[in-house]
Chains A and B, each alone.
Chain A
Amino acid sequence: MTTFTPTTSDETLSTVAWAVEQQSPLEILGHGSKRGIGRPLQTEHTLDMSKLTHVTLYEPAELVLSAKAGTPLAEIEKLLAENGQQLAFEPMDYGPLLGGEPGKGTIGGVLAANLSGPRRLKAGAARDHILGINVVSGRGEAFKSGGRVVKNVTGYDMSKLMANSWGTLAVFTDVTFKVLPAAETEVTLAIRGLLDDAAVAAMAVAVGSSAEVSSAAHLPERIAARVADGALGSDAATLLRVEGFGPSVAYRITALKKLLGGAGPLQEIAGEVSQVIWRDVRDVRPFADFSEKPVWRVSMTPSQGHHMVLALRMQAAVSAFYDWQGGLVWLRMEEGDPQDALLRGLLRKHGGGHATLVRAAPAHCAALPVFEPQTPALAALSQRLKQEFDPKNILNPGRMA
């Protein structure tokens, strides 16, 4: 059992090349903040990328930042904030949910897991902001793709291929992201006391309006109490975030109030409380209970999420809340059984999408498909890609199986 800790791209390359030659699989780690997601690995060796750090290029006026893959996300976010900028896709922090420390995670992991947050609805995920990469494939070959400019269609977009690949195709050494100005002002409008179906309808109206809502989440009764240290109280809260320049935010909030006045009691939340609420929604704080109760992350058609949950409730005890206008459903299985067949069946019945078992007891993670099973043609295609980039199955073998 050896842990390799490269501090340069060349060292990363020679380590992987060695592992390929030895046919000795590697577990690829940043800070390990998402290690609990996916099939548990039993590799002899570990490639710890957390010492391959540093921001190598940051040009605020060009809206671009490059960093070594092991650079802490927290360091990058701090640097951007000092310049009034941000990663607009708001990468979530799995730490609290998985019982780890908050604030961990490397920029490479952000891409490998294609992280995003509540602003996904308007601003996209990591995949939408990655501009270029340098990686080492499972063949022990170092290569690059993309560049440092936003408009680029030169060759296949390999950066996107690597997004959500969970370290199974290549090890990232460098990543270049588009960065954007941070909003000057943010205000959240909360509609209180709605049941799921009314909440989903209200969110659809709001997001489809010209108010440019950047996030829309629904926290049912009691779950609402579990964000921002209880600042919302326990009544159901349907949350709409509006961001931008002060006068514009004020105008759009007023417009939303007019639009949704009849839906239920309205509450305006500004400043830091609003920020903390969205951070807690992003990080799934309502289910960050240090337990091993299974938690699912389900992405589906926004108008279908609550129907699926209702059907699920007929057969299992679940807690649920919604982000992305209802299209991101976070589920906690209260009886400890992940109910994967039941859930995946209902998901298919309600328009499809994908469900990932992001938290479960190790035995469940090992025995169940953690990621959404694919149709045979798609699974075969994915397998051919894995074969092309990692024919010896050196990188995180079995993690996405």
Chain B
Amino acid sequence: MSGLAMPKPDDATMRRRDEIVADMRIIVPGEGVVDAANSMRAFESDGLTAYRQLPLVVVLPQTVAQVSRVLKYCNDRNIRVVPRGSGTSLSGGALPLEDAVLLVMSRFNRILEIDFSNRVVVAQPGVTNLGITTAVEQEGFYYAPDPSSQIACSIGGNVAENSGGVHCLKYGLTANNVLGIEMVLMNGEVVRLGGSHLDAEGYDLLGVMTGSEGLLGVVTEVTVRILRKPETARALLIGFPTSEQGGQCVADIIGAGIIPGGMEMMDRPAIHAAEDFVHAGYPLDLEALLIVELDGPGVEVDHLIGVVEAIAYKNGSTTCRISQSEQERLSFWAGRKAAFPAVGRISPDYYCMDGTIPRKELPRVLAGMRELSEKYGLGVANVFHAGDGNLHPLILYDANVPGELDKAESFGADILRLCVKVGGVLTGEHGVGVEKRDLMPEMFNQIDLDQQMRVKCAFDPNHLLNPGKVFPQLRRCAELGRMHISGGKLPFPDIPRF
């Protein structure tokens, strides 16, 4: 593992492995416990495949009671636990630890309730993102957040990562579409947050759980909002000679009061890779290709297409195609959707980054990336959720060349530093995980990080749930709990008092 320090395995736990495996078999009878190295191999990494580790044991519970008992058992014995959904995390969030139980939620795969009149679906956490849409689409409904991994990733994983997708610009992220969860705390307590009603009673713990990367609790049930499918969707495929013009076009569309259903941009290397791969008919002599999708009633879509087209021309677009059929709309998307595998064809390996920037900084960040690309001698292709400033630079490297992975990682870290420098953030949707853990201090000072750890302490004071992720260094809760009263002199005379 390229220089990544994970928590030191606990000797006592390692020594008691056989006993723990046997106890797990009692709690989760049947096929639910996997301890042979060969069979555990399938779980040794997630979507961040550069990192691999066999867990202590894999446990696949089937009931909430089992989850609760596993967690309580581990909590009482100081055993670490790593929750896992489908294992598609791109930040190593589900990376196993040598001394930890890997708690895999994939057997929680049932939809429990579909309620069209209240527009909610209650699902177990192992149901795939797409599985929810599939369950309701015959009635004309869908679940809006649509990560590209939607055929595989689980709704529980989506909650843990606050996942996004192309449609999130208009319809919100996971956090805006989840109404309730049931979760189990590390001490085995079962807690329900929200439900089919809106907003929290008390603190918004649902909001905190969403995006908490499996460090606060194990999600055992999810209630989501479903939406009626828009009547129509049409897309524009717009090309620009410079990325500045593309960026300005995006700003002008939003300035005109339009929030498209999706708005995606690709740079020259990404356009070429995609076109070579799927032959979507993309124009090639461009620096920026923009896909703008408008959805809603036909009259609205037709009206807005005219507005967007005019904005594109005003910004110097050299091509602007408007989809005339559903087939053509899908062909516009084909290249974008295949961008990752397409890049995978032109390079032995690629490393997907996920920073977000204020949109107006796009030209500056792209220029900075070109410089870094030269410095490191590695290529980079960019796909970009243009509407919300979420960049996915794909760094091209060859893991078989000694040192290239390290170089790619350093390049990636520099890109993320640049994102933070221009007012952006380290990760827009893939999570911190192990990958960006050590970069957290780029964005937060120690006091900021301490507060996040305090949240952790309220949920899991012994740091047993998914340790080694998100925080560069976990401080002991007892230490964090101490009060440091500094100064504390009555702050006059500068403050008006009455």
Contact = CB atoms under 8 A, between A and B. Distances in A.
A200 to B, nearest CB: 9
A83 to B, nearest CB: 9
A252 to B, nearest CB: 6
Contact of A127 (B199, B201, B228): B199
B447 A143 contact: yes
Nearest to A212: B296
B189 interface: yes
Contact of B488 (A21, A152, A157, A328): A21
Given A149-B389, A247-B299, A300-B197, A181 B211 contact: no
B495 A155 contact: no
A205 to B, nearest CB: 8
Contacts of B497: 2-5
B211 A156 contact: yes
Nearest to A326: B118
Contacts of A299: 197-199
Interface in B222-257: 228-231, 251-252, 254-255, 257
A84 interface: yes
Interface string B479-498: 01101111111110011111
B427 A375 contact: no
A140 B488 contact: yes
A103 interface: no
Interface string B107-145: 000000001111100000000000000000000110000
Interface stretch (A187-195, A224-232, A350-358): A350-358
Given A11-B495, A245-B303, A248-B300, A180 B488 contact: no
B119 A155 contact: no
B475 to A, nearest CB: 13
Given A151-B388, A248-B297, A141 B451 contact: yes
Interface stretch (A72-80, A288-296, A385-393): A385-393
A161 B454 CA distance: 12
Contacts of B303: 245, 247-248
B435 to A, nearest CB: 12
B164 A151 contact: yes
A147 B424 contact: yes
A353 B195 contact: yes
Given A251-B299, A351-B196, A140 B485 contact: yes
B44 interface: no
Given A251-B299, A353-B197, A143 B495 contact: no
Contacts of A9: none
Main secondary structure of the interface of A (DSSP, over half): mixed
Interface string A1-34: 0111111000100110110111000000000000
A371 interface: yes
A181 B497 CA distance: 40
B359 A84 contact: no
B425 A149 contact: yes
B470 interface: yes
A5 B116 contact: no
Contacts of B300: 244-245, 247-248, 251
Contacts of B254: 61, 63, 181
B299 A374 contact: no
B236 to A, nearest CB: 17
B388 A207 contact: no
A25 to B, nearest CB: 15
A257 interface: no
A371 B429 contact: no
A164 B191 contact: no
Nearest to A15: B491
Contact of A157 (B115, B172, B210, B299): B210
B116 A208 contact: yes
Interface string A131-156: 00000010111111101111111111
Contact of A62 (B117, B140, B359): B359
B257 A181 contact: yes
**Residue among A5, A15, A151 having the largest count of chain B Cβ atoms under 10 Å:** A151
Interface of B: 115-119, 140-141, 161-162, 164, 168, 172-173, 175-176, 185, 189-193, 195-208, 210-212, 228-231, 251-252, 254-255, 257-259, 296-300, 303-304, 356-360, 385, 388-390, 423-432, 436, 440, 443-444, 447-452, 454-459, 470, 480-481, 483-491, 494-498
17 contacts: A61-B251, A116-B199, A124-B176, A125-B198, A151-B389, A153-B429, A154-B432, A161-B204, A163-B204, A181-B259, A210-B229, A244-B296, A303-B115, A374-B202, A377-B191, A378-B202, A378-B205
